[in-house]
Each structure stands twice: as structure tokens, then as C-alpha cells.
Amino acid sequence: MRARRASRVASCGVVAGALAGAVHACSYGAMTETIDVEAARDYSGIASPGTGIPMHPKLHDRASWGTALTYAALGFENASSDVQALFSFTDPALVPPPAIEDQSPLQFFATPHTDDEGVGPLFNQRACIGCHESSLDNQKNLAGAGRGDASLVGVNQVSTPVSRAGRQGLTNSSLISKIDGNPPTAAFTLYGDYNPSTGAFNPLTNFGGPLQHDDAIGYCAINSPPSISIDPYLSGGIDPVTGVSPLGERRVTGERAAPSYVARGLIEAIYWGDIVHNEDPADAVATYSSLDPQPDRNICPGDCISGRHNESAASQSFIGGDTLVRVGRFGLRGAGTTLLQFVIGGAQGEIGLTSPFSPFEQPNVDTVDPTCNAGGPTPNVTATRILTVRDLIRNIAPPMPSSALFESPPTSAAAIAVQAGATLFGLDLPAFQARMTSDEVDPSQFSDDTNHAIANDHQLGCATCHIPVMRTGVSPAQVGGAESLSNRWAPIFSDLLIHQNPEVPYYLLQQWYEALPQMIDPASCKPTCNPNQLIAAPYPIHGTVSRDMTDYAVVANVTGLALGSEFRTAPLMGLGKVGPPFGHDARIYLNVIGDGSYPGEQPNPPATIQLTSADGGTVETSITTMDLAVLAAIEMHDLPAPPINPATHAPDYTLCPSVPPNLDVCTRASAFRGEARNTMERFRALTQAEQLTVVRFLEAL
């Protein structure tokens, strides 16, 4: 673990200057965060510090949240007419929509667009909502399960911007075609060549990369990732152990599933200094937990959690973006400094709609005739069209958590379970309840942890990264900012920092898939592996859900300082209403009806994963309910538990096979375990009933 951290602890980034006092050995400057011109702050998404006593958040009625494409189902209550107008919508299947520039932002988001409006030539969806249709999958699975999955009953059944990209099976890139598309998922694929020595990523733009498309207008062809044999950067053969060519590069791919657009305006309104204040890049902070096991100080000097901020310049993502490096908060790696860049990228990359911010079409190298593009105006949409969609996303409210979280004292079975799970999570429940309901909580009278609603006893330690409450400053949003976003407590359940994820070494991903006692010694691969030279195999990793939580398709404009093994802490607000799939690429999906298979292929089976508990041991489990999907999402926070000791019925690191460190995915000191290693040890030491209370708490959000 120490070796993996070395490359990331060394740098605090290029942002440097005067924040009163260093934070965990680093200091940061305000850069453009100090801009006081309202229009410039709105454009660049720059929040100012909050003052005084924050107000409680305007949380949306839980029952109706996300149930329709309307202001009433999505927006902050009592919003101004300007905000409500953002949500105007009529079903385009029933009433022909206005011209694309005359549509409300929600109408534009949910309306399929045409070739003549500028879609393509390459695209994945014709409408923004095409990447936000997980609710339809959940509706079908609930119906297919005979409404027997009680944990799925409260999940939204109508696709809206608070839905996310769906998935019903594993992606098989070799079967993606213009005719069939990519049936199991709306997640998109990035590809390129990565240099492990330098960290550089080659997006292969000369081959049409880095974004793979599965559709194209007219007779245009879709681009396919180049085969290894024709990639000049991979010529000379591939090392079977590292995957690296003589030129130092290896092919990488990564899938991205669109997130739920919940409370992004509140996240944007958090002052940058409040984000960096929570980082601990050297793991210097040792939080208190009454639960065992405690961290091994030879492995983790603190609590094993060592999050750090990410940063980038918006100018890397779009024309006219802020050229100064600022603290990021949006996207898979938290590199995004503004919501605007994601609207621009989604319109151009997924739909093929160019704008003044991104006026060039995606490279279309597999189509000989460049006139296959049907046209539309150039650029296809105006800057105003893009900016108003950003305004819409800013003004989507988070839902009120379940009433079971506010029952005091808890007397119902539901409240007892939910609040027990909240305690294990590390939530300071009274502090949380007060900040969600009162406008009289003075933050100056409480500690940082109390203001974040983190309990003194961190228990499992989930709240260390998934910080329950942050406070917003002065929102940059000119539409809706003052009325709903500024100076509020915000229940985002994220620190917005990046953290080290569990990783499976390349050699194991490529060669070793079965629970065999021996495997080919990678030392024999010079370059051809000797099948007769064997070593003990690492502890087997069962299940169809990949346990490798890295993604080395590190496209520069959405990566910032992050390594391929670092992701931002995912916000959890609305989890119980949005439902599955979970994960950055939607790999933890729920499919009990065999839906979404490729043409001619067998029905897709449920995903499977190893789950470990104190009374159930380690069991490979099919994900057939939302409860199990949430458990799987928790389990993904680290590599699997070590083998179960038959005498103690508990995971036992001494039973891990003896393998070289570069293949060790089992021991407590494995360099490939993630920052949540100790949290997951504690979680796996819970009984199944205790684990289920944590699930119930998360489903109450």
C-alpha cells in the first residue's frame, strides 16, 4: 500500500497560495475562486464562501420525487417562475415539440433529436435522457419479479434526469454494431493506449478514439477501436505479464455510466476551501471507531483513508473555459470544475450536437465519404441552448430521506433498522436531523465533525469519505441560486475527494479466471509463458462482477491529477429512490428477467459477486434484489475477504497463498487493496442482519 501511495502523496497539485493555515501539510490558493463578478462566477461555476447560519435544504417530497418529467416531481419547492420554466415539458410522442432552440431545457433533455437538427454523424443516443433510463429497467424488473422484491418497490419507475444509465448485462465490445448498438447498457466506452511508466494516455484520435460510438446517421459507419495488430504504439509484441509493448504502452478501455443528476447545484455551491479542508493525502488522521479490527499501523499510519482533492482547468474541456486551474468536484475522478463541461461533452460526444463550446464533430475515420453527415446548422446548437440545460441540472432538488430516519425515538421496525444502520455508517443522527430541518443551527458552536453530521465513534467509517453534510456558500447560479442553493446545509454524502480503489493486477485479469491451486509463473514469460513452470495461484475471485475498480482510460480533460486507480467518492443522496445499477460503469446491475441480451445470444443472467459476513461466510451470490445490489456495491469497496478459517468461521489472512507481492490480492498488506480496506474488514465482521441495517439506511437516502 505504501508503494502505491508514494506517487500520489508527493504532489498537492499546482494550486498554491494563501488559505489561512496549511491543511494536512498543503496550502492552496483561491485562484479564480475569488472572482466577484456575478456573470463570470455563473459561467465558471465559482462559489463564494458562506456566511452566518446556513438554512436547511429545500428537500423534495420523497413520494413524488423523480416520478415524472415535471417541475413538481423534480424541482425545488416554491421556486421562481424562471426556475419553473426550465421544467416545461410535453411528451413529444403526443405533441410535436417546438424547434430545438425554442424547447425548454427539460424538453430538450427528453426529446429525441433528428439528423436535420444536427445529430451525428456519430452518436450513441438521440436524446440526453437516453443515458438516463435506469428507471425503465427497474420498472421491468419489478414487474418481472411479480412485485416480489420489496426493496425495489419504492424505486422510481419513470426515467427522468435523476435516473442514470441502465445496464442489463456485460458489455461484449466485439458484438457492438451499428445495427444492434450496445444492447445491455447505455454506458459508453472510452479506449486508448496507456503508458504505465509515465501515466500518459494516448486517445488514438487518428483511429477515431477515444470515444466508441454504436450508431451513426445515414450510411455513415461507426468507428471501431483498432485491433492490437494495426496499432503502431503496440507493435513489437505485448508482454503477457504487464500488457506493455516495447514502446511502453498497453491498450486500455473503460466504461462510464451517466450519473443521476441529483442536487448538482448544491454540490457546485460548496466553497472550494471546504472541500480541501477534509483531505488527508498522507493518512495522517486516525479517526476513532469502537469496532474491530483496528488498522494495522504498519500498513496504515492513520485510518487507511487518504483522500485528496483533484484539480484542472475547464479550458481543457471546452472552448472559452476558464484557463486557470481550480479545485474540481464533478465527474468520475472529481476533475470537473464546472457543470457546463459535462453538458457540452454529453451533447457533442453522445448525441453529436456541436456547439460554440465544442464546434467540431467526432472523428469519423471509418467513413470514406465525409458528406455522410446530414448537416444541420453549424454549430448545431447555440451556447444558450447548452447553458440553459446546465441551469436545469443546477435546479434539480434532492429528495427528503425516509421518515424512518427522523422518527425520534425510533419505535417502528423500519426506523429501528434504518437508524441502527445509520449508527454503523458513522452518522451523527441528531446533528443530521437538526441540519435537515432547522434554520437555527449555528456552525460556529459545533465541531467540524458535528457540522458534517459525523459521529464521534466512526464505527464502520463510511462517513469518513461519504461525509453526510456539507454547507454551501454563495451559489454561482444566476437562475435559482439565491432562492434554493446558497447558504444551505447540503446532504450530499460525499467528501468530493479522490481515493485509492482496489485493483486486480493486469496479469491476473488476463490469464487467471478459475479457482485453480496453481497458475503459470509470470517469471517464465520471456516473452512466451512456460505452461510447465507453475506457482501457487492467488486467492480466487469469483463472480461476474469485476473486482478491479481501476480505469486507465485517463482522458486528460476529465482526469486532472488523478491516477487510474483513483475515483471521487460518489454522492449517495437519492440512492434509495434512484436504485440500481451501481458503480461508475453500472457494473452492479439488477436483471431477473433475462433482458437486454445481444441479438441471437442467450438471455442475460443476473450478475454474481462474492459476499462475506460473520454468520454467512463467503458466498458467491446472484444479485436478484435491490438489497443484494446495495450489498454488492458495498462489497466493491475492497478486494474480497481472505479465505474463511473453518475453525473460527472468520476471514483469516494467514490462509492466503504465498505469492509474489505483484500478484498478492489476498493478504492484509496487499498493495492492491483500496483505502476502504479497514472499513470492509469491519463490515464483513457484521452478521447478515447487521449488514442489512446498513443497506436499509442507504435505501432511506
The C-alpha cell of 342 is what? 459535462
DSSP 591-606: -SS--SPPTTSPPPPP
Q: What is the percentage of the chain residues whose pLDDT exceeds 90?
A: 77
DSSP 191-245: EEEE-TTT--EE--GGGT-SEE-SEESTTPPPP-PPPGGG-GGGTT---TTT---
Q: Do 442 and 332 share a structural domain?
A: yes
The rounded distance, in Å, linking the Cα atoms of 701 and 696 is 9
**In b/e form, how buried is each residue of 74-98, taking b as 16+ CB within 10 angstroms?**
bbbeebeeebbbbbebbeeeeeebe
Say yes or no to pLDDT of 8 above 60: no
| Cβ-based neighbours of 66, under 8 Å, separated by 6 or more | 73, 74, 135, 156, 158, 160, 162, 163, 399, 574, 577, 578
Going by pLDDT thresholds of 50, 70 and 90, the confidence category of residue 33 is: low
* Interval 6-19 mean pLDDT: 35
534 and 655 assigned to the same domain: yes
Work out the burial of residue 443: count CB atoms within 10 Å of its CB; fewer than 13 is exposed, 13-18 middle, 19 or more buried: middle
- pLDDT of the residue at 625: 95
Can you list the positions of beta strands (E) in 441-549? Answer: 470-471, 489-490, 498-500, 518-520, 534-536
For the chain, the average pLDDT equals 90
Sign, Cα dihedral of 218, 179, 346, 89: positive
pLDDT at 26 over 60: no
Helix spans in 235-337 (H) = 264-268, 272-276
| Span 415-430, pLDDT tens digits | 999 999 999 999 999 9
The torsion angles phi and psi of 605, rounded to 5 degrees, stand at: -85, 170
Tell whether 495 and 630 lie within a shared domain: no
Give per-residue pLDDT as tens, 445-472. Answer: 999 999 999 999 999 999 999 999 999 9
Is residue 480 within 8 Å of residue 83, measured between CB atoms?
yes
CB 187 within 8 A of CB 170: no
Residues 299 and 408 placed together within one structural domain of the fold: yes
Q: Are 128 and 389 in contact (CB under 8 A)?
A: yes
Q: Within this chain, do residues 394 and 288 fall inside the same structural domain, yes or no?
A: yes
pLDDT of residue 3: 36
Return the pLDDT at 574: 98
Which of the two residues, 322 and 435, has the higher pLDDT score?
Answer: 435
Closest CA to 678 of 622, 623, 643, 637: 637
**What pLDDT, on the 0 to 100 scale, is given for residue 17?**
33
Residue 374 confidence class, pLDDT cut points 50, 70, 90: low
Residue type, 549: M
> Given this model, what pLDDT does residue 101 score?
97
Share of the chain above pLDDT 70, in %: 92
Whole-number pLDDT of residue 23? 28
Residue 638 has pLDDT above 90, yes or no: yes
> What nine digits make up the cell of 96?
410535436
Check whether residue 544 and residue 560 sit in a common domain: no
Side-chain half-sphere CA neighbours of 73 within 13 A = 18
Residues 88 and 189 in one domain: yes
Calculate the CA 454 to chain-centre distance: 22
The total domain count for the chain is 2
Last residue of a domain, one of 544, 579, 614: 579
| 259-286 mean pLDDT | 96
Smallest Cα–Cα separation from 564: which of 197, 316, 211, 268? 197
pLDDT of residue 538: 76
> What's the rounded Cα separation, in Å, for the pair 207 and 193?
12
Are residues 607 and 481 located together in one domain of the fold? no
Task: Quickly state the pLDDT bin for 363 (edges 50, 70, 90).
Answer: confident
Domain identity same for 332 and 247: yes
Provide the Cα torsion 32, 34, 37, 42; round to 10°: 60
pLDDT bucket at 150, cuts 50 / 70 / 90: confident
pLDDT-based confidence at 282, cuts 50/70/90? very high
pLDDT of residue 14: 38
Query: CA 507 to CA 244: how far, in whole Å?
Result: 11
Confidence of residue 240 (pLDDT cuts 50, 70, 90): confident
Looking at the whole model, is its pTM more than 0.85? yes
Q: From the CB of residue 58, how many other CB atoms can be counted at a distance below 10 Å?
A: 18
Q: Please state, in angstroms and rounded to a whole number, the distance separating the CA atoms of residues 75 and 379.
A: 30
pLDDT of res. 371: 67
- What digits encode the pLDDT tens for the residues 186-199? 999 999 999 999 99
| pLDDT tens digit sequence for 497-533 | 999 999 999 888 766 555 567 788 888 887 778 888 8
**How many helices and strands in the chain, by DSSP H and E?**
19, 18
Question: What is the band of 20 on the pLDDT scale with cuts at 50, 70, 90?
Answer: very low
Residues 566 and 646 in one domain: no
51 & 143 share domain: yes
Same domain, 523 and 565: no
Domain that holds residue 6: 1-504+555-579
Q: What is the pLDDT of residue 35?
A: 59
Judged against a pLDDT cut of 80, whether residue 24 lies above it is answered with no
